[in-house]
Structure 1
């Protein structure tokens, strides 16, 4: 059933005049007549009775009118539900303790009244996250998406480079360093449990390892952040890598140390993925916020050459 014909029928029923309906709809009287005729052919009944003074509803038209209005109301609700800005922006932040989540939270706090939902698709790799954006499961996602995996219809902009830091316990040989070079980590065991094969972070750490001759492993079960912090506090040889804005909590007695990496500074290249042409106003505001609010990056950045820009 043609929605435009339904809308035309309702306007004719309310005005009683084909010309008045045409004026209200911004179409010709001939177009109104064609729409009504098509609707009557579809329903196989006469919905309007033509008179010298205009038109009035037939008996079937009187029965049909309230249903037509309900259909048009449902169509309007459906359009409103997906109209840009009519619903909260749904953003995949990958993990609530890492940099994208902190940035989105600061954006939310600085934009009073903004409606958005921060979600995690942490079990998806970058290519699958891009498909989730393309299919409308989320509006945007922060991912280190390889340039050769950007699907058609996806816009990618690298807006959030997160510098890495070394996290060690007080007994580690590098615990008192003010900063270290990635090359200084060669020979030290860096443990990052939970690296899943096929994910962009697995590719990132493999590229980092190859570039600087590091020993990064994910051996053993991942018992969570608390277990990792406990292990680091008790170890004189174990270290891990975290983002400079990642939020971790540990007991004061652990005395863990976060040590910046420089010369060069490895960064995790978070890119904002969205559907090409998406006009959601909150997405536009978030993108502008990321472009203007981010602090200048270090001069000696290292990032994988496969990362999309």
Structure 2
């Protein structure tokens, strides 16, 4: 359906005359007549009858009018949804319980006036495509993973180094430890079914395994964090890694322990990605907020892959 014809139809209804509608739309009366004729052919009905006082709606025209007005409202809302300054700031995070989500909650508390939409895309390729198209304004990722070069126009800055913790059940051999070194984890089974091949976090854990001779198993279906916590609590031989800032809640009788990993401390390098030509005014506020939040991070005694973006 030709939306300009619909707009012209509503203008004629409001003006009451083809000639006045033409003046309101800054087009000729002939153009108005052609648009109305096109719309009538599309719908297969007459919308107006000529009367001494101007154009009057037929019964079909009266039935179509509220829908025509709604169509124009939908068009306006659709345009506003992607117009910078008139739509929410759209930011991609990996999961809703991650450190990235915590950063966005902090930003929202500091800037409650910013209309914000948080979304979760699967991988860096999807995120970069969305950044280039303008579908999202920013994305948290670990860049640059092996074999990946950010496309022209995509900027990144490392904003958070998140230490890893070991999560184990009460009967695990390391359950009483206050901290564990990476060397102590050699030979222990670390189960992480959420690792997806080809993702940047998959590349991160591949390098961690290769560097420190660890055993990380990604076998079995990923039923989510609740099922993972249940299994870790019930299986003394299993452990898993989780970020120090990841927010998880489990039943008290699980008896799970979160133990810092040291010597060195593996940290996950979260970076913020955006397109340099993105004009959304709140994007500058987000970058400024993150820079202030992470300026004093301590980086000594930590490990990241060689490919991690520099600080």
Give yes or no for TM over 0.5.
yes
Residues 217-255 of structure 1: CA deviation (Å, up to 9, x unaligned): 111122221111111112221100000111111100111
Counterpart for residue 187 of structure 1: 187
State the TM-score, normalizing by the size of structure 1.
0.73
User: For 1:192-203, what aligned pairs fall within 5 Å after superposition?
Assistant: 192-203=192-203
- Pair 1:64-2:22 in alignment: yes
In 2, Cα distance between the equivalents of 1:235 and 1:194?
18
**Paired residue for 1:15?**
none
**Contact (CA 8 Å) 2:226, 2:250: kept in 1 or not?**
yes
Distance 1:247 1:300 in 2: 24
- Asked if structure 2 preserves the Cα contact closer than 8 Å seen for 1:127 and 1:145, the reply is no
1:223 and 1:79 mapped to 2: Cα distance? 38
CA distance in 2, matches of 1:244, 1:256: 14
Residue 258 of structure 2 corresponds to: 258
Report what 2:307 is aligned to. 306
**Hey, what does 1:225 align to over in structure 2?**
225
Report the alpha carbon displacement of residue 288 of structure 1 after superposing the two structures with TM: 1.1
1:271 equivalent to 2:271? Answer yes
Structure-2 residue corresponding to 1:141: 139
DSSP 3-state at the match of 1:242:
strand
Instruction: Give, in whole Å, the separation in 2 of the partners of 1:141 and 1:200.
Output: 13
| CA RMSD in angstroms, aligned pairs only | 2.5
Match of 1:176 in 2: 176
- CA deviation vs aligned residue, 1:175-204 (integer Å, no higher than 9, x gap): 111111122211100000121111111111
**Aligned match of 1:32:** none
Task: Tell me the residue number matched to 1:154.
Answer: 154
Task: State the shift of 1:145 in Å.
Answer: 2.6
2:87 corresponding residue in structure 1? 87
Counterpart secondary structure, 1:86: coil
- Separation in structure 1 between the aligned mates of residue 77 and residue 222 of structure 2, nearest angstrom: 46
User: TM-score, normalised to structure 2's length?
Assistant: 0.73
Q: How many residues align?
A: 246
- String of CA shifts for 1:88-126, please: whole Å, max 9, x gaps: 1000111101110111011101222221101111xx321
Runs of 4+ in 1 over 4 A off after TM superposition: 59-63, 73-83
SS at match of 2:233: helix
Distance 1:286 1:125 in 2: 22
- Name stretches of at least 5 consecutive residues in structure 1 with no aligned partner: 1-58
The question of whether the paired residues in 2 share the 8 Å contact of 1:181 and 1:261 is answered with: yes
1:56 corresponding residue in structure 2: none
Distance 1:189 1:81, change over 3 A: closer
- Whole-Å separation in 1 of the counterparts to 2:82 and 2:236: 55
8 Å Cα contact 1:181/1:262 also seen in 2 = yes
CA distance in 2, matches of 1:84, 1:176: 53
Q: Which runs of 5 or more residues in structure 2 are unaligned? A: 1-16, 28-71
* Residue of structure 1 equivalent to 2:126: 128
| CA drift at 1:127 | 2.1
Contact 1:193 1:222 (8 Å CA) reproduced: yes
Counterpart-to-counterpart distance in 2, 1:258 and 1:181: 14
For residues 34-71 of structure 1, the C-alpha deviation after alignment (integer angstroms, 9 at most, x for no partner) is: xxxxxxxxxxxxxxxxxxxxxxxxx99855331249xx
Aligned CA distance change for structure 1 residues 67 and 165 (closer, same or farther; 3 Å):
same
Quick one: distance in 1 between partners of 2:82 and 2:239?
A: 47
The alpha-carbon deviation at position 85 of structure 1 amounts to 2.4
